[in-house]
Structure formats: structure tokens, C-alpha cells
Structure 1
């Protein structure tokens, strides 16, 4: 984990009002005959958010200032809860140990990375999960049976079993997770509307690819 990362979560009651989501970078070249050539320049998506809508009071305003100053603006990354996508399953469902496939045992491998896969038919995208959240336990199964003999690294998402899962046994997991992110500005534009009301024009936050 980078030294510039602070293992602390942006206030989740403020991020609840944020706007944003995944971003990709695709180069599109339109040829003379009107047909397109498309080239995906990023292997992984990168999420962007704006937390300004989550500020509802002057105390929220101060909370953001306090958090921003300690992070030194864009300098230090932090944990961010994406309320639209923070579980190994849809956000309205309960997590289960069968939510995500991490790999298949070969009798030797003991380490498995937490991942989340999007799509299933054409070209599924597998996202590495680096920051499992402490808001729910990580549940793991081997061959469909609950697993207990493992250690979880909470700042890399790496699961290490005491004994390697047997050959052919699928390793699955369920979890909540945070996004490694940072502010994408070194200046906050603040407005104090009244003694109990405040607002921020823009609080851009961007995912950090570690």
C-alpha cells in the first residue's frame, strides 16, 4: 500500500449524496467510410465522484474541511464508500460466501485475491478488491462449505489459507468493500448560506489505482 494512503473512510453519510461512477478511456477513430475503430486504452475502469450534494449543513461543511485539511488536499488517498457498488452482490442484497469466485484450488496455492466480476455473457470484467470494509465480515467458502482457516489482509484484499484448498474446489467469498480514492482538487470553494447551512460548489473525488 502506498505511503500516501491514510486508512480512514470519507464520512459515509456525506458520500451517500455523491454523484459519480465508473469511467473508462476509449479511443475512437472514424475512418473515411464512416466505420469506427475503437481502442480501449485503460485495462481497468476508474471511478469519479462529486460529494458536494452530500453536504447538507454547516457541520457537514466543517467535517469536509477537517477531512480535506488532514489529507492535505490531493496528497493523501483514503477510503471511499460507493453506495451504488460496495458489496460483492447488489447493494440491496445480503452478502453470502458464494457471491464471487476467487479461484479454484490446486492443492498448493494458499493465497487468493478478493475480486468482483461484472457481467457473465460476453466479456466479463474482473475488478481487484483491495480494501475490504470493516462494516461487514468477509465470508469465505471452499467447495461450497464455509471456510474459517484463513487470514485477511485488510489493505490488500489478499486471503491466505492455513492449508491450500483441495484440487478442483472452488474458492468463493462475500464481502463489503471501499474504494481507494483521493480528492481531485487542492481547493474547496465554500459557501455559508446561514449559521446552520453551508454548501460546497465542487468536491471532486477520484479512484486511485494501486
Structure 2
């Protein structure tokens, strides 16, 4: 399996996901600067967390129009898998890879903490090593993670099994108290229609090694490596 991490000015989790990918793949991914649309053919593209372009204008809005992103959109349309984490999720929605938008957190404060997440489906290459309904612990760190979409879109995502993760309590119960940012229906991550693009606000790379306090996030990366190798 070959992977590429797109690096934007303001990315700050690119090295984290590079280390996590190398740990699972046994080799390092390509690190692709945002101006470089001519990067090697890969099985997986990762849009990392951070603050691309300093979050000016709107989170992810400027990065979505970079040369590398135009290539990412083209490759995703042909089936290449894309994992969009935190700021990467924001970029993916701005680029039209995923429905909906990421708004300012409902409490208007930055949130940085571990959260509990319920796996809604494992019928994708991203989640094969999890169990449906399994509760995992993965950190978040964002000011604009409040996922919103119109009711028709939310109903469609629910009905077609495109909701990947939801914020929950340790028992898997979905509640407003377990929602760190006000996201509609406690949604923490969604797929595109073809299920080859996953956007999520939690950072699996931040909990991918026992030395970091847990390995719940590594299962996502291992799922992809096993499926695409």
C-alpha cells in the first residue's frame, strides 16, 4: 500500500499521521506540498488536521482550491480512498468531496479532549476492524467541528448508512451532554456516497500507539492498510 499526506501551510498534524501510517504500513507515506498536483499514484490520500492558511476566510476554504486538492478531488472521483481528519474534514466539505459543513462550535470555544465515539457501521474499508456499536475513545481538537447539513441531507446520510461515527457517552448513548461541539445528530464523521471518502473531526493518529495512552485510533489505519495492501 502507498499513501500520501497533503501538507498545507498551517498543517500541524501532518507529521502525526505520517508516523501513524508508517507504523501500520511499514514504510513512510509521501508528503505532498499543497502546490504539487503531480504526486505519485497512491492507494490512500490523507488530508491532515491543522489550520490551513491560518483558517482565514473560512476553515478549509482556501486550501480547497490548492493545486493538490484539485488532483485529490479528481482521484477521489476515480475511487482513490481519502481520509480527511479535522481540518482535512473542513477542506473536504469545502471542496465538495463530502456533504454538509463544519461550523463554529456551539459553545464558541475551542475544545481539546478525549471523546467517546460510537461506530455506526463497519461495512467500509475504513472501519473493518471495529464492531458496529463499539464505543472507542479518540481525541478531538477544534473550534469549528459543529457538523451541520439540511434535514433532507441528514435524513439521507442516516438512511443510506453514511454516518460513520457519533459522539456518545461511555455506554454508547447518544446525548447532548456527550456532544462536544453541537454537531447535528451527534455526527462526528461521514462518508461520501461511494464510501471511498471519510471525513471525521476526531484524530485517530493521536491515539494510535500505546505510548500515547491507547490504540483505538490505530484500528482505523490498520483497517485501511489491510484492505488496500
For the criterion TM > 0.5, the same-fold answer is: no
Name the structure where strand makes up a greater proportion of residues.
1
Instruction: Indicate the structure (1 or 2) with the bigger Cα radius of gyration.
Output: 1
Name the structure where helix makes up a greater proportion of residues.
2
TM bracket, shorter-chain basis: under 0.3
- TM normalised by structure 1 equals 0.26
Higher relative contact order (CA 8 A, sep 6+): 1
